[in-house]
Structure 1
Amino acid sequence: MIGTAKYLFGLSVGLIALLCFAAGAVIDRRPDVPRAPPPDAQEVRAALGFGQMALILMGTSSPVSFTLPQAWLDGVHSLVSHGKDNLAMDGRIDGRGAVFRVSKRLTRHGWLNLAFRLEETSAGGAPRLILYAGGWRAPEWLTAALLRMGLPLLGGSQELESLIPAFRAEDQTVQMTARVPRALVGGLQAVLGSGEGGGVDLELVRAIYGELLAGAVLEPEPDYARIVRRAAMQVDSAEGLKAALVALTMFTDGPRVLRLAGDRTKTPPCALTAFATRLHGRADTPKHWVLSAALTMFMDEKTGRAIGLWKELDDSLPGGSGFSFVDLAADMAGVRIGKAARDGTDIDKVIAGLRSGRPEIILPSAVLQLPEALPHHQWKRRYGPLEERRMMRQERLIGNLLDRSPLYSRLPPSRP
C-alpha cells in the first residue's frame, strides 16, 4: 500500500512538473525557430538523406549507427518551413554537441517552443541531455525526473543510454548510435501529420483494396483511369472517397499508406507489391496523382503541394530524370482531389468524375505538352527559384489546364 502511494505521488509530481515545463514553453506570440526561405534543390536532397535515415530508424527496434551532418538539419529546416504553417524545426551542431528546436502552434497566436541539447561526454557514450522551454532551461532534477518517467513508457530503461548509447560531436557532424522506440513513432506521425484528414474507415479501405486486387488478378488492367473507376464505383460519400483514395494508393504504391491512415498493425493486409499501371501511357503519373491526393488528405494542402515541388527539385539534380511540369500537373491534380476528400467539397461531382474511366478526366491531355526533363540549371534559369513570379505563373498555367476537365473545373485550385 505504501509502495503504491509513493508511486502515485511520484507520478503526480512528474506530471505536474511536465505541465509546468510545457506551460513555460509558450512564449511571446511567435515561434523560436525562424522561418527559412523556400528550399533549393541541394537542401531538398539533403533533407531526403535525413528522411531515409529516419525511415531506417523507425523500421527497426535495434540501435543504428550513422552520421548526422549539419546539411541534413539545414534541409529539414527549409522543407518544414516551406511545407507547414503550424510547425517549425531546426538544429545546429557544434564541437561539443547539437541542439534541436521545435516550435508548434497551439492557438492562433500561441506557440509551444521546446528545445533539447545533446552534449557528448568524455567517454563517448550516452550524451548529456539539456531541455529548454522557450527561454527557460530546465533544472537537471526536472530533466532526470522526466527521463525516469518518460523513457519506460517508450519501452526503454530510465537511462538515456537505452535510446542513444553512443554520441560524438564534431564541428559540422555528429557520429551517433540511436534507436527510435515503437511507442514514439505514432506520436511523431501525429505531430507531423496534423491535418484534418483522419477518420478513414479502414474496413472499407480493405474491402476496396480487395476488389482492386481481385480485378487485377482476374482482368489485368494497365489503364489507371479504369482502376480509379473500379474504386469509385464502390463509394458514394466523402468517407467513402477517403477510403477509395487510400485503397488506390495501396494498389499503386504499396500498403505503407496505412500508417498515415492510422493503422498500427504490424502485418499489412495482402502485403503485395504495387501494381504497374499507366495514365496516358506514363508509368509514374498514377503515383504522382494518388500520392499527392493521399498526402493532402492526411496532412494539408500546403504540404501536399510542397512535396510535389520537392520531388521535382530532387529529380532536376544529376542522377534524376529532370524537372517535369507534367508530373507536377499530376501532383496538383491529386492535391485538388485530396483537398476535396478532406473538406467534403463537391463529393458527388468528384466521384462522378472518377467513375468516368477516362484518362483525360483524371488528367487533361493538354498537360502532356508541358516542359519536362529539365536539368536544374535550365529549370532555374527559366522558372526558378520556388515561390518566385515565373514559377508561380507556370503553376497558374497548369491550374488553367486542369480546369479543362470537369473533375477539377469547380474545385478550388491548389494555392501557389
Structure 2
Amino acid sequence: MSAPARLRAALRLTLKTCAWAALALVVASVVALALAVQGSPRWPGPAEVSAVDVARARSFLQRNDPRRPAPGPLRTMVATEREANLMLDQLVRRLAPGTPGASAQLLLSGGSARLQASLPVPRSPVTAWLNISATLHETPGLPTLDDLQLGRLPLPAWLAKWLLPRLVERLHATPEGALALDMVRRVRLMPARLEVVYEWGDHGLQRVLGTLLPPSEQARLTAYAQALAGALQAHASAGGGAGLPLERLLPPLFTLASQRSVGGDALAENRAALLTLALQATGRRLSDLVPAIQAAPQPQRVTVTLAGRDDFAQHFLISAVVALEGGGPLADAIGVYKEVADLRSGSGFSFNDIAADRAGTRLGLLARRDPRALQDRLARGARESDFMPDVADLPEFLGRREFLATYGGVDAPAYRRMLADIERRLDALPLLRAP
C-alpha cells in the first residue's frame, strides 16, 4: 500500500474512532442524565407546619436572638432536628415557590448528617426532578460533602469533594450566601441537634438588614412608603377620622405596583406593597427596617381597619405577607397559634380571626401565583366584601372550657366543620375563589 493510501486509511480510522468516541460520550451522557433526573420527587417533605411548630419557632428565635448580650464576638445557634428542617423547608419553598413535592430534610447523627432533597429541574419542558442524597461530615469548620447521589446515579467521592468548593463559590456569589459564609465559623452535627457557631460583631444587625434589603429593595420600599404617606395625607385633608378602611389603601398602592411592574418584577412589587400595609396596620414604621427612608415623608399614625376592626386588618395583612413569602401552610399555622395563645391568655378563641387569616392567606398566594392579575384588580378598586366575608355570626372570645366543650379542640371534627364553613364563605368571593 502506497504512503498516500496508508495516510487515507489512517485518517478514516481516526475519524471512525472519533465518531464512535463521540457517540459513546453522547450515550453515556444520556444514560447519566436518565439516571440523575427522575419524573417525580423521591423524598417526602416534612410534616405540615402546625401551631406547635409556630410556638417552637418563636421559642427558637427567642433563644437564639443575636442581639442579646453575650461574652465575646462568637455566638452559638442551637436547633433541634425539627427546627432545622422547618427552616430548610422554608428555604426550599423560596427556591421552588408553588411546586408541590419540593422538599429537603436533614437526618442528624453524631458527627454527620444525611441530606435528602427533591427539587424540580428549572425551566424543564417536561416534569423532571433532581432527587439528591448526600452525607455531610463535621469538621473544625464547615461540613464536608461525601457520598453524593443524584437520582439513581451515585457519584464517586472524589467528584463530590471536587463539587463542594464549586458549590461554595456559587453560594458566595449571592449576598445571603456571602454573609452566611463570612459569619459562620463552625457547624456541629449531633444526634437530633444542630449547632452553628457564628461571629455577630458590632454591626451584625446592620449587615443582615443590608443583605436582606439591598439598595434596590430599600428604594422599592421607600416608594411604597411615600405612596402610603400620600394616601394617608389625603385622608386627613378630607377630614377622615382615626380609622381608615383597608379598601381605601389598596388601590393607590397597587396602582403603583402595576406601574412599577412594567418591565420589572411584579412579585417583588406585590411583596413591598403588602409589607408596607402590614407594618402600618401593626403600628410599625418602615424606617425601622430601612434607615434610608427616614429622610422621606413618614406615614401618619392612622389605624387601618377591615370590617370596621383593626385586629381583622392585622390578621389579614400579616397572613398575606407570610403566605406570599412562605406559603399557605405557614400562614395558617401562625393564625391558629395566635388563637390558641389567646385561648390560654384569657382573650379567647375567635373563629372570625381565623377567617381574616385565611382571607389574607388566599390574597398572599394570589399575589404570588398571578401577581399582575391581582395588581390590575386591586388598582381598579375593591370593596371589603370582595376579599373579606361576613363573619359577624362566627363565634369569638371563646374561653378554654367553652371551646373544648363545643368544638373538642383544634383538629376535632366540630372544629374542622367550622373551618370548612369559613372556606365556603371565602369560595363565594370572586377575588379569593380557590383555583
- TM-score per shorter chain, which class? 0.5 to 0.7
- Report the CA distance between 1:144 and its aligned residue: 5.2
Question: Does structure 2 conserve the Cα–Cα contact (< 8 Å) formed by 1:156 and 1:162?
Answer: no
Report if aligned partners of 1:154, 1:183 keep a CA contact under 8 Å in 2: no
Residue of structure 1 equivalent to 2:70: none
Q: 1:304 aligns with which of 325, 328, 341?
A: 328
Which residue type is aligned with residue 130 of structure 1?
L
User: What does residue 8 of structure 2 align with?
Assistant: none
Instruction: Compute the displacement of 1:290 (Å).
Output: 1.9
Structure having the higher helix fraction is 2
Deviation at 1:211, TM superposition (A): 1.2
- CA 1:346–1:212 in 2, change beyond 3 Å: closer, same or farther? closer
The reply on whether 1:291 has 2:315 as its aligned counterpart is: no
Residues 397/116 of structure 1: CA separation in 2 closer, same or farther (3 Å cut): same
Aligned runs of 1:111-130 on 2, under 5 Å?
111-114=129-132, 117-121=135-139, 125-130=140-145
Report the CA distance between 1:185 and its aligned residue. Answer: 9.7
CA distance in 2, matches of 1:92, 1:399: 36
Distance 1:372 1:35, change over 3 A: farther
Cα distance, 1:369 vs. partner?
2.7
Aligned-partner Cα distance in 2 for 1:346–1:153: 33
Question: How far apart are residue 96 of structure 1 and its match?
Answer: 1.7
Give the equivalent residue in structure 2 for 1:98: 113
Q: 2:422 aligns with which of 392, 398, 404?
A: 398
- 1:205 aligned residue: 224
Matches within 5 A, 1:1-400: 26-49=36-59, 64-73=75-84, 75=86, 85=100, 87-106=102-121, 107=124, 109-114=127-132, 117-121=135-139, 125-130=140-145, 132-134=148-150, 136-137=154-155, 139=158, 141-143=161-163, 145-146=165-166, 149-150=169-170, 153=173, 162-178=182-198, 205-212=224-231, 214=233, 221-225=241-245, 228-232=247-251, 239=258, 242=270, 245-253=274-282, 254=284, 267=291, 269-270=293-294, 275=301, 276-280=303-307, 282-296=309-323, 298-299=324-325, 303-304=327-328, 306-313=330-337, 315-316=339-340, 323-338=349-364, 343=370, 344-345=372-373, 350-351=378-379, 354=382, 363-367=388-392, 369-371=394-396, 373=398, 378=404, 382=408, 384-385=410-411, 393-400=417-424
Do the aligned partners of residues 348 and 69 (structure 1) sit closer, same or farther apart at CA in structure 2, a change above 3 Å counting? closer
Relative to the length of structure 1, the TM-score reads 0.63
What 5-or-longer segments of structure 1 have no aligned partner? 1-19, 190-197, 260-265
Is the Cα–Cα contact under 8 Å of residues 51 and 333 in structure 2 kept in the other structure? no
| 8 A Cα contact 1:98 1:169, kept in partner | yes
Provide the rounded CA distance (Å) in 1 between the counterparts of 2:63 and 2:273: 31
Residues 238 and 393 of structure 1: CA distance in aligned 2, closer, same or farther (over 3 Å): farther
- Once residues 34 and 64 of structure 2 are traced to their aligned partners in structure 1, the CA distance between those partners, rounded to angstroms, is 29
For residues 331 and 69 of structure 1, the distance between their equivalents in structure 2, rounded to whole angstroms, comes to 28
Q: Residues 115 and 133 of structure 1 are in contact (CA less than 8 Å); yes or no, is this contact kept in structure 2?
A: yes
Give the aligned CA root-mean-square deviation in angstroms: 5.3
Task: Name the amino acid aligned to 1:397.
Answer: D
| Counterparts of 2:116 and 2:129, CA distance in 1 | 13
Per the alignment, do residues 379 and 47 of structure 1 end up closer, same or farther by CA in structure 2, a change over 3 Å counting? farther
Percent identity over paired residues:
19
Cα deviation, residue 337, structure 1? 3.8
Pair 38,166 (structure 1): closer, same or farther in 2 beyond 3 Å: closer
- Displacement of 1:202 in angstroms is 5.8
Show CA shifts across 1:231-281 (max 9, x none).
52576597269475454234224466999xxxxxx6452497995544456
Change in Cα spacing, 1:75 to 1:230, as seen in structure 2 (3 Å) is closer
Give the letter for the 1:211 counterpart. Answer: G
For residues 168 and 299 of structure 1, what CA distance do their matches in structure 2 show? 29
Tell me, yes or no, if the aligned pair for 1:99 and 1:117 is still in contact at 8 Å.
yes
Shift of 1:70: 2.0
- Say which SS state the counterpart of residue 331 (structure 1) adopts: helix
CA distance in 2, matches of 1:351, 1:156: 33
* Secondary structure at the counterpart of residue 46 of structure 1: helix
Q: Distance in 1 between matches of 2:406 and 2:211?
A: 38
2:361 and 2:128 map into 1 onto residues whose CA distance is 29
TM-superposed CA distance for 1:168, in Å, is 3.3
Evaluate the alpha carbon distance shift between residue 88 and residue 395 of structure 1 in structure 2; reply closer, same or farther with a 3 A threshold. same
Cα offset for 1:34?
Answer: 0.9
Aligned pair count?
360
Distance 2:62 2:163 in 1: 30
8 Å Cα contact 1:212-1:230 kept in structure 2: yes
Partner AA of 2:44 in structure 1: P
1:10 aligns with: none
Q: 1:289, 1:157 → 2: CA distance? A: 32
Where in structure 2 are there 5+ consecutive unaligned residues?
A: 1-29, 68-72, 260-268
Between stretches 367-376 and 35-44, larger displacement belongs to 367-376
